[in-house]
């Protein structure tokens, strides 16, 4: 019943479902190792200290069963003959070892926790900063679901590794190696009996590793699909309500969640075989040691204390192995998390900004714009602009008109440096845009678009978004200039009113006015308005227009609008058709000349009004 639409939906989500490498070498690729190295480097000293602490703590812990055996064989024997020195020395040593172990283990736990959290903090900041700098082209294909996964579940798995996994792994490896050595030294034949338990364990572990990696991939893909369906449905909640899509979405979500449940339950089943398997091997080995050891004790080849140490050691031998297996998944997840983050950090910001840009002219930018021989394509081979030339003298107000898809927004985005041209140059006052640093570029251009984004916070916060240092008076005067003051008093708290998530408490027109105020306050040399007043009603638009006349008087401006009333304030109109300028001149003249593109656009627009 639902398979076809689920299939179609899966098609959309296909890029969301990420490749999970199938083995360790795949997980720990070079860039991953480089990333881990670079985040660990600042903590080198702490890491060395923590390592020493855990090694010594383990040595102390490992010595205890040996000392117990010694106490039984030598201490008690001595005490029987009223020689209390050995037992006193041995119990003293046991106490010291116990204290040392506890103390150093504390150093390890708190130290690795602290370093782990610092590394995560650093990495989180780096990933966020990098995401912000990545080009719009990157953000167009990297979906929100994946971004959220980067900043949440990847970090969670790394966090889990630092909290639990690392501790267990280091402890277990050290105990197994240490105990294994001691067993062989204490009594070689009995030691070999213990180690023979490793043979079935080896095969069991190989099997588990292979199967759990497979299961992990399935789980991760299933989880990715659940996240995508969740975020996409809820981000599009208005469309979901408008088309009464909730029941169908429930079905799809149910199917995907069921897939995730099935994948998870497979993981648990694997663990359900592996863990008891290890315990079984451990217990059988203990029985064998007791049998063979007892026989040797009876034969006088071995002392009871040594056998006691053996049995005590065996617990410290197989238990950690079982624990390591449990954390194999957590390592796998953390390694995959690191790999994904390394992948993001490896992405080139498409529009790199120099740290030290070209010096600005004394007296600031004037705002003369040129496009010379610009070629641009969003996708290879599909030029939107080819050989595009344009000169805008400083201070001119230019209206860019043309049919849908003509390339108007593309020209605007190149001017705002959302993208770099494939060929050619865009300059302001003769300075190529890519020579300007972050700060200068902010002074140079600002763009207001149709989907003016409003952040959660107050009206004042939103107006000051591009100029965090603005004073209250400046904010209010920018608001007045574009007419925000006409509605701000209806909001309860005036400029301090909360606009809700994404400005949801404002109407579409009110959001545009706030966005316009934001741009005016930023006071750029070149202001670009792309359908920036499309949501305003006619009276409001006229009001904004009269404000624009004064605000744009000494500023270069590029205005894109389908409503040609907006264009009347322009000094010059450019008609764009398939990426080429087909008409260029003052609006009055283009109209007077009659039969051109602008005249027919204008006539069509006039007709649409009546």
Per-position x/- string for 364-403, each x denoting binding to ligand ATP as judged by CB under 6 A, each - no binding: --------------xx----x-----------------x-
DSSP state of 491: G
List 4, 37, 44, 140, residue binding ligand ATP (CB under 6 A): 140
Least distance (Å) between residue 16 CB and Mg ion:
27
3-state DSSP percent of the chain in helix, strand and coil, to 5: 70, 10, 20
Least distance (Å) between residue 523 CB and ligand ATP:
25
Least distance (Å) between residue 491 CB and ligand ATP:
31
d(CA 579, CA 385): 5
Q: Which stretch binds Mg ion (CB under 5 A): 25-33, 97-105, 189-197, 403-411?
A: 403-411
Contact 399, 566 (CB under 8 A): yes
d(CA 314, CA 175): 11
Least distance (Å) between residue 277 CB and ligand ATP:
54
List 43, 408, 572, 602, residue binding ligand ATP (CB under 6 A): 408
Least distance (Å) between residue 409 CB and Mg ion:
3
Q: Which stretch binds Mg ion (CB under 5 A): 278-286, 322-330, 401-409, 413-421?
A: 401-409
Contact 438, 590 (CB under 8 A): no
Strand order in the sheet with 369-377: 383-392, 369-377, 423-428, 431-432
d(CA 408, CA 579): 8
Both tokens of 534, joined, read: 């499309």
Contact 407, 581 (CB under 8 A): no
Task: List b or e across 374-411, with b for residues whose CB sees 16 or more CB atoms inside 10 angstroms.
Answer: bebbeeeeebbbbebebebebbbbbbbbbeeebbbbbb
Total of chain residues touching Mg ion, rule CB under 5 A: 1
- State the number of CA atoms in the 13 A half-sphere of 508 facing the CB: 10
Decide which of Mg ion, ligand ATP, none touches 132; Cβ closer than 5 to 8 Å per partner kind.
none
Both tokens of 450, joined, read: 């149709």
Decide which of ligand ATP, Mg ion, none touches 473; Cβ closer than 5 to 8 Å per partner kind.
none
Residues 410-439 interacting with ligand ATP (rule: CB under 6 A): 410
Both tokens of 20, joined, read: 């999970």
Least distance (Å) between residue 578 CB and Mg ion:
14
Least distance (Å) between residue 406 CB and ligand ATP:
4
Decide which of ligand ATP, Mg ion, none touches 150; Cβ closer than 5 to 8 Å per partner kind.
none
- State the number of CA atoms in the 13 A half-sphere of 302 facing the CB: 24
Number of DSSP helices (H) and strands (E) in the chain, helices first: 24, 10
Task: Quote the distance between the C-alpha of residue 237 and its chain's center.
Answer: 23
Decide which of Mg ion, ligand ATP, none touches 378; Cβ closer than 5 to 8 Å per partner kind.
ligand ATP
Which residue number, 71 or 402, has a Cβ lying nearer to Mg ion? 402
List 3, 4, 132, 404, residue binding ligand ATP (CB under 6 A): 404
d(CA 402, CA 384): 14
d(CA 311, CA 313): 5
Cβ-Cβ contacts under 8 Å for 107 (sequence gap 6 or more): 49, 50, 53, 57
Least distance (Å) between residue 351 CB and ligand ATP:
14
Which residue number, 3 or 404, has a Cβ lying nearer to ligand ATP? 404
Which residue number, 409 or 535, has a Cβ lying nearer to Mg ion? 409
Which residue number, 83 or 451, has a Cβ lying nearer to Mg ion? 451
d(CA 301, CA 297): 6
List 62, 153, 157, 409, residue binding ligand ATP (CB under 6 A): 409
Total of chain residues touching ligand ATP, rule CB under 6 A: 12
Both tokens of 51, joined, read: 């390592």
Least distance (Å) between residue 579 CB and ligand ATP:
7
Which residue number, 228 or 401, has a Cβ lying nearer to ligand ATP? 401
Decide which of ligand ATP, Mg ion, none touches 175; Cβ closer than 5 to 8 Å per partner kind.
none
d(CA 141, CA 491): 37
Least distance (Å) between residue 364 CB and ligand ATP:
30
d(CA 366, CA 396): 11
Per-position x/- string for 199-228, each x denoting binding to ligand ATP as judged by CB under 6 A, each - no binding: ------------------------------
Q: Which residue has the tokens 């939107």?
A: 384
Measure Cα distances from 235 to 128, 144, 145 in Å. Answer: 21, 10, 10
Decide which of Mg ion, ligand ATP, none touches 153; Cβ closer than 5 to 8 Å per partner kind.
none
Least distance (Å) between residue 542 CB and ligand ATP:
22
Both tokens of 33, joined, read: 């190792």
Sign of dihedral through CA atoms 435, 437, 440, 443? positive
Taking CB atoms, the residue at the shortest distance from Mg ion is 409
Least distance (Å) between residue 265 CB and Mg ion:
49
Residue 405 interacts with ligand ATP (CB under 6 A)? yes
Which residue number, 323 or 530, has a Cβ lying nearer to ligand ATP? 530
Task: Tell me how long the chain is.
Answer: 610
Which residue number, 332 or 409, has a Cβ lying nearer to Mg ion? 409
Decide which of Mg ion, ligand ATP, none touches 62; Cβ closer than 5 to 8 Å per partner kind.
none
Decide which of ligand ATP, Mg ion, none touches 384; Cβ closer than 5 to 8 Å per partner kind.
ligand ATP
Residues 406-435 interacting with Mg ion (rule: CB under 5 A): 409
Least distance (Å) between residue 450 CB and Mg ion:
8
Decide which of ligand ATP, Mg ion, none touches 509; Cβ closer than 5 to 8 Å per partner kind.
none
Residues that bind Mg ion (CB under 5 A): 409
Residues that bind ligand ATP (CB under 6 A): 140, 378-379, 384, 402, 404-410
């Amino acid at each position: 019943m639902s398979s076809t639409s689920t299939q179609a939906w899966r098609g959309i989500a296909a890029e969301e479902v990420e490749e999970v490498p199938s083995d360790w070498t795949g997980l720990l690729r070079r860039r991953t190792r480089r990333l881990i190295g670079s985040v660990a480097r600042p903590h080198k000293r702490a890491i060395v200290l923590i390592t020493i602490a855990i090694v010594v703590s383990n040595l102390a812990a490992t010595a205890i069963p040996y000392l117990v055996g010694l106490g039984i064989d030598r201490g008690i024997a001595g005490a029987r003959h009223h020689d209390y020195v050995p037992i006193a020395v041995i119990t003293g040593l046991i106490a010291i070892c116990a204290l040392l172990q506890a103390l150093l283990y504390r150093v390890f736990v708190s130290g690795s926790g602290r370093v782990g959290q610092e590394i995560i903090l650093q990495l989180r900041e780096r990933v966020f900063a990098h995401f912000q700098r990545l080009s719009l082209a990157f953000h167009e294909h990297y979906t929100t679901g994946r971004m959220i996964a980067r900043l949440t579940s990847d970090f969670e798995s790394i966090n889990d590794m630092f909290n639990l996994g690392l501790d267990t792994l280091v402890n277990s490896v050290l105990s197994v190696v240490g105990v294994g050595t001691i067993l062989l030294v204490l009594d070689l034949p009995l030691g070999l009996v213990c180690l023979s338990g490793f043979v079935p364990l080896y095969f069991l572990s190989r099997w588990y590793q292979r199967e759990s990696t497979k299961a992990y991939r399935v789980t991760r893909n299933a989880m990715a699909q659940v996240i995508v369906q969740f975020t996409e449905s809820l981000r599009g909640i208005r469309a979901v309500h408008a088309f009464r899509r909730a029941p169908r979405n429930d079905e799809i979500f149910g199917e995907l969640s069921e897939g995730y449940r099935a994948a998870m339950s497979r993981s648990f089943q694997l663990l359900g075989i592996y863990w008891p398997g290890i315990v079984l091997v451990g217990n059988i080995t203990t029985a064998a040691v007791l049998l063979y050891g007892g026989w040797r004790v009876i034969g006088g080849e071995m002392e009871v204390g040594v056998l006691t140490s053996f049995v005590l050691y065996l617990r410290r031998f197989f238990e950690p192995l079982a624990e390591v297996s449990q954390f194999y998944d957590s390592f796998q997840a953390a390694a995959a998390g690191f790999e994904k983050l390394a992948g993001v950090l490896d992405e080139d910001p498409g529009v790199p900004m120099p740290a030290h840009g070209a010096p600005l002219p004394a007296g600031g930018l004037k705002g003369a714009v040129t496009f010379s021989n610009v070629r641009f394509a969003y996708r290879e081979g599909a030029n939107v602009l080819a050989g595009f030339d344009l000169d805008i003298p400083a201070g001119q107000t230019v209206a860019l008109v043309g049919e849908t898809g003509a390339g108007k927004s593309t020209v605007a985005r190149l001017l705002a440096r959302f993208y770099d041209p494939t060929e050619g140059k865009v300059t302001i006052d003769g300075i190529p845009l890519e020579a300007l640093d972050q700060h200068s570029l902010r002074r140079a251009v600002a763009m207001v678009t149709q989907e003016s984004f409003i952040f959660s916070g107050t009206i004042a916060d939103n107006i000051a978004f591009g100029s965090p240092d603005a004073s209250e008076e400046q904010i209010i005067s920018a608001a007045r200039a574009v007419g925000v003051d006409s509605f701000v008093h209806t909001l309860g708290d005036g400029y301090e009113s909360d606009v809700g998530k994404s400005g949801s408490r404002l109407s579409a027109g009110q959001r545009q006015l706030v966005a316009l105020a934001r741009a005016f306050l930023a006071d750029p040399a070149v202001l670009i308005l792309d359908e920036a007043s499309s949501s305003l009603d006619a009276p409001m638009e006229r009001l904004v227009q009269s404000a624009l006349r004064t605000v744009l008087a000494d500023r270069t401006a590029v205005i894109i609008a389908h409503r040609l009333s907006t264009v009347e304030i322009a000094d010059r109109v450019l008609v764009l058709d398939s990426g080429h300028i087909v008409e260029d001149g003052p609006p009055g003249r283009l109209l007077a000349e009659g039969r051109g593109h602008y005249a027919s656009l204008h006539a069509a627009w006039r007709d649409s009004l009546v």
